Amino acid sequence: MKNNKKILNLGLGVAFLISQGLLKNGKEFSFKNEDFSRFDIQRIVQNLSLETAELTNQKVSEIAPVGIAKERDIRQSVRVAVNMVGGLNFIKPQDTVLIKPNVNSDDPYPGTTNPQVLEEVILMVKERGAKRIIVADCSGVPWPNTMRNMEKVGIAEVAKRLKVELYALDNMEWVWVKPEKAKYWSNGFRIPKILKEVDHIINVAVVKTHSITDFTMSLKNFVGFIHRQDRMVMHSSRYIKEMIAELNLAFSPALNILDASKVFVSGGPARGEVREPMMIIASPDRIACDMVGLSLLKILGTTPAIQDKNMWDHPQIKRAVEVGLGIKGPENILIKGSNVDTEKFEKRLK
């Protein structure tokens, strides 16, 4: 009976995704048999002991710098924002760097990461002499063919033209992890095995609202690095926002970049009401980065779930602070700006 209840919850998770309008244009989508025909909880739990991955330690500073740039073009904004928070000096020759864009769907930016933003990040990594550069993601359940999505939105073209490795993680190998502090992930979850080959992760997310979780930025971007079956578990839980924070315990990005060339101020994650700030936000700290991204949404005018709320109390941010993913409060954020009014951002951090 207990296992039957878990399977029922997962079925409700699928229904929840559908009810929130995540099916593009109301079209049906189908799962590959090899992905979901073996989707029973008992087998998943039994497999937990088969393979695990070593989790990296989270590095947290007392003061987190956040760079916000609005230059003559979005590529220059990438460079300025990144350089304001220390640049890419953490990359050494012979390093392997993985760049994680947002390719949740097959929708153009801000549904996904702006290809121009990704291109500039790749070029900056190349300038540091990295031995391997990998671009990788796994799209959301309603858009199961990640490579096709990458091709449609321009991500694949950039990666191939710049001759970097490109992986759609759909059918690649995954390993189980269970971070100690992840109390809402009682059975753990799976992450891409290729991460074992990586020295640094650069997280290139998008600033946008989300119809289920209120917002999606650098923290939620790592949902693309957990197995789709585990995402179904997450979407069936009333603690989905806390689970987003906890899954980040499995990843330790060296840098987080928020693409705010275009943003959703309502709707999302695939489609919504668009604004064009033409900004880039960057920080080594995920919590600081997302709080500044939320400040931008408040400046532009956004949903009631964000606009007049203290976002430090939002379950996604609150749980991220509790498990030690980053800074603890607005006093720990140091905003640096180029061609932006930093005071407007600072006022909305609380």
pLDDT in tens, 108-155: 999 999 999 999 999 999 999 999 999 999 999 999 999 999 999 999
Domain boundaries, the chain: 2-54+63-347
Is pLDDT larger for residue 124 or for residue 27?
A: 124
Q: Does 327 have pLDDT greater than 60?
A: yes
Is pLDDT larger for residue 25 or for residue 287?
A: 287
pLDDT at 350: 80
Q: Mean pLDDT, to the nearest integer, of 261-277?
A: 97
Distance between CA atoms of residues 233 and 9, nearest Å: 8
Q: Does 286 have pLDDT greater than 50?
A: yes
Residue 43: pLDDT band by 50, 70, 90 thresholds?
Answer: very low
Q: Mean pLDDT, to the nearest integer, of 65-79?
A: 98
Q: Could you write out the DSSP letters of every residue in 237-289? A: STTHHHHHHHHGGG---SEEEEEEEEEEEEE-SSSEEEE---EEEEES-HHHH
Q: Does 14 have pLDDT greater than 70?
A: no
pLDDT at 133: 98
Query: For residue 253, which of 325, 328, 179, 164 has the smallest C-alpha distance?
Result: 325
155, 115 Cβ separation under 8 angstroms:
yes
Q: Mean pLDDT, to the nearest integer, of 99-115?
A: 98
Q: Does 17 have pLDDT greater than 60?
A: no
Query: For residue 142, which of 166, 165, 111 has the smallest C-alpha distance?
Result: 111
Q: What is the pTM of this model?
A: 0.87
Homologous superfamily of domain range 2-54+63-347: LarA, N-terminal domain (3.40.50.11440)
Distance between CA atoms of residues 221 and 176, nearest Å: 19
